[in-house]
């Protein structure tokens, strides 16, 4: 049957592919065991051609997953081999360098067959709560301490699940039912994607995806290159300093906008850290590409061709190009800061286009709860691992305020209190917006949050902190003010670190004030009516309205 189709038909099929992978992602959300997937959307899904080129990604998901996963399917093909790919197979890995950056992300790839022929791949990734080792945190000194490593291998061969793998995983993780449940959810997610893909191919009478793949990739490449060609050529450097683990980290970026590509190089960035905040290059590429694409070609769907003109490089053994066996569990702490570093350079070339700095890094923590040891606990006391995702404020934009408690660049959602407390004997005593945390400016930075975290009476816990912006708050842009810094302490006043596992006795709480986004533009240019609005909503205090924005006592009383 001929496969010559019109541009309109190809566009319809392209949109249909995006719908296919979005349903694939939603299936994962509905069936996942881990609350980080179910409640926060820490996942991705995509469809690939037989060469491993990403054709479409789900709207639901994170750049760190989907842009890293864009490279990973080619690794699966290389490791498995075309001669060993069969209908009914399912492949799996959590390799940080051939997957999405750390051991806690499970990537599953499924070959799709139609009428007996291999036509493509479905792939998905999800973060699981525990993979063994020291647990999710920055405390490891090498990858070997961070958990169980699963090389690229077959989870199922011709429909038969590898029970040896299942038993090995169950014997090495703290939450075996949850982990194995997520393995099956990932495999099922791909199966849903496969079914919808075959439905589409049957409807449009396609025997393969070759023509539609060529259409998608060629049009995406051309459109992206047109966006780049419309920019003024130029070079600029950017730099930002963030907390790091035991010493500050410098991120240095050089941008070179050329006629047909944008080069982004991280030479000069700090070297490897001894602890697990290092970043594999695949994750650095994911967020650097995302930052550039958001600014330059936001309307072009994400796929292999639309990402290709953004060329990301970094010297080996810098903190943004860590190689085996560097510890990388918290690679997101540095990785989520990369867009702000890139934007520091891009703002010099394309003013009035990029936002001010925001909280950047997700305000994650994991609590390892257990029966209290200072005195006898009741028989109802249990052990549990609770991971929760939270957000500071995003930076103000050139023409609007920053978003409150919103994760940029990751896009991961803040987890509801009810969902968090359902996963173990943890209590969230307080969770509310943090007034005055958004940096002042013509446009105000987004607000962070307050949280107070404790456990039920019979429990103590280890608190694994995964925060930044403690010593280096978000910087304002074009005259805007900095956002508020992150603070963390125990309820008894004891200081706590921004990163690392720390003990919290029974009866104590962890007091968190999450960072705010920075302001954009001079404070003197802010519309007084917006200041009054912020005051009435409780976003700013009377003192800030008066001291920072110059609001009169008369206006404050109105």
Q: What is the mean pLDDT of each run of 10 residues along the chain (558 residues)?
A: 66 94 94 90 94 93 90 96 98 97 97 97 95 96 98 98 98 96 97 97 95 96 97 97 96 97 98 97 97 95 95 98 98 97 98 96 96 93 94 97 95 91 95 98 98 97 97 97 98 96 97 98 96 96 93 80
Peptide bond into 325 cis (omega under 30): yes
Asked if residue 114 belongs to a domain, the reply is yes
Place of tokens 């169980």: 148
Token digits for 321? Answer: 């190009």
Residue ranges with strand state E in 29-70: 43-48, 54-57
Asked if residue 396 belongs to a domain, the reply is yes
- Report the SS3 class of residue 538: coil
pTM given for the model: 0.95
Round to whole Å and give the CA distance between 400 and 294: 16
Round to whole Å and give the CA distance between 434 and 513: 7
* DSSP H helices in 389-491: 417-422
Round to whole Å and give the CA distance between 190 and 226: 34
Asked if residue 292 belongs to a domain, the reply is no
Token digits for 547? Answer: 């001291």
Q: What Å distances lie between residue 116 and 158, 204, 205, 301, CA to CA? A: 13, 18, 15, 30
81 — alpha (psi -120 to 50), left (phi > 0) or beta? left
Asked if residue 438 belongs to a domain, the reply is yes
Choose among 107, 144, 143: nearest CA to 127. 107
70 CB neighbour count, 10 Å cutoff: 28
* Strand 262-265 relative to strand 310-313, pairing: parallel
Same domain, yes or no: 454 and 548 = no
- Which helix H or strand E contains 179, and what residues bound it? helix 176-203
Same domain, yes or no: 520 and 532 = no
Asked if residue 173 belongs to a domain, the reply is yes
Same domain, yes or no: 442 and 550 = no
- Report the SS3 class of residue 27: helix
Same domain, yes or no: 63 and 14 = yes
Asked if residue 120 belongs to a domain, the reply is yes
Same domain, yes or no: 12 and 126 = yes
Round to whole Å and give the CA distance between 103 and 558: 55
Instruction: Identify whether the C-beta of residue 518 lies closer than 8 Å to the C-beta of residue 357.
Output: yes
Q: Give me the pLDDT at residue 61, please.
A: 84
**b or e along 306-325 (b: 16 or more beta carbons within 10 Å of the residue's beta carbon)?**
bbbbbebbbeeebbbbbeee
Choose among 247, 139, 272, 137: nearest CA to 471. 247
Asked if residue 262 belongs to a domain, the reply is no
Same domain, yes or no: 430 and 551 = no
Residue range(s) defining the domain that contains residue 556: 528-558
Asked if residue 165 belongs to a domain, the reply is yes
Token digits for 53? Answer: 């080129």
């Amino acid at each position: 049957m001929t496969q010559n189709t019109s541009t309109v038909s190809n566009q319809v099929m392209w949109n249909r592919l995006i719908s296919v992978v979005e349903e694939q992602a939603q299936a994962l959300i509905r069936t996942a065991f881990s609350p980080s997937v179910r409640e926060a959307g820490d996942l991705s899904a995509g469809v690939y051609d037989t060469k491993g080129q990403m054709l479409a990604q789900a709207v639901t998901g994170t750049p760190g997953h989907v842009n890293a996963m864009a490279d990973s399917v080619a690794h699966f093909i290389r490791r498995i081999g075309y001669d060993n790919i069969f209908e009914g197979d399912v492949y799996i890995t959590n390799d940080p360098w051939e997957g999405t950056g750390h051991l806690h992300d499970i990537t599953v790839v499924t070959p799709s067959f139609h009428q007996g022929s291999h036509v493509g791949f479905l792939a998905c990734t999800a973060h699981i709560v525990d993979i063994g080792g020291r647990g999710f945190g920055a405390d490891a000194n090498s990858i070997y301490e961070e958990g169980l490593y699963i090389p690229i291998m077959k989870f199922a061969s011709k429909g038969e699940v590898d029970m040896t793998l299942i038993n090995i995983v169950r014997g090495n993780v703290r939450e075996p039912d949850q982990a194995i449940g997520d393995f099956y959810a990932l495999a099922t997610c791909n199966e849903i994607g496969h079914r919808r893909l075959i439905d589409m191919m049957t409807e449009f009478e396609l025997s393969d995806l070759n023509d539609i793949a060529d259409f998608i990739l060629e049009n995406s490449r051309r459109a992206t290159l047109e966006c780049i060609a419309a920019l003024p050529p130029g070079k600029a450097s950017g730099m930002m300093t963030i907390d790091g683990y035991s010493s500050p980290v410098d991120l240095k970026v050089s941008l070179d906008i050329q006629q047909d590509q944008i080069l982004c190089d991280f030479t000069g960035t700090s070297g490897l850290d001894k602890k697990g905040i290092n970043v594999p290059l695949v994750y650095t590429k994911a967020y650097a590409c995302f930052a550039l694409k958001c600014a330059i070609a936001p309307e072009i769907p994400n796929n292999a061709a639309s990402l290709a003109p953004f060329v990301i490089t970094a010297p080996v053994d810098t903190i943004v190009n860590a190689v085996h066996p560097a510890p990388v569990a918290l690679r997101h702490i540095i990785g989520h800061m990369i867009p702000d570093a890139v934007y520091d350079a891009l703002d010099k070339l394309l003013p009035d286009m990029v936002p001010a700095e925001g909280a950047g890094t997700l305000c994650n923590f994991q609590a390892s709860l257990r029966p209290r040891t200072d005195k006898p606990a009741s028989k109802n006391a249990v052990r549990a691992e609770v991971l929760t995702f939270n957000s500071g404020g995003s930076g103000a934009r050139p023409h609007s305020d920053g978003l409150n408690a919103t994760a940029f660049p990751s896009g991961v959602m803040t987890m509801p209190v009810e969902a968090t407390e359902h996963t173990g004997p943890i209590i969230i005593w307080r969770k509310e917006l943090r007034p005055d945390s958004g940096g002042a400016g013509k446009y105000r930075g987004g607000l962070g949050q307050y949280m107070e975290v404790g456990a039920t009476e019979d429990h103590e816990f280890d608190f694994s902190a995964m925060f930044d912006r403690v010593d280096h708050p978000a910087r304002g842009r074009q005259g805007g003010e900095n956002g508020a810094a992150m603070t963390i302490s125990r309820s008894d006043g004891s200081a706590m670190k921004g990163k690392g596992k720390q003990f919290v006795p029974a009866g104590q709480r962890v007091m968190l004030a999450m960072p705010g986004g920075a302001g954009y533009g001079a404070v003197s240019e802010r519309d007084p009516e917006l200041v009054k609005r912020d005051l009435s909503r409780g976003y700013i205090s009377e003192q800030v309205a008066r001291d920072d924005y110059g609001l009169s006592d008369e206006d404050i009383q109105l």
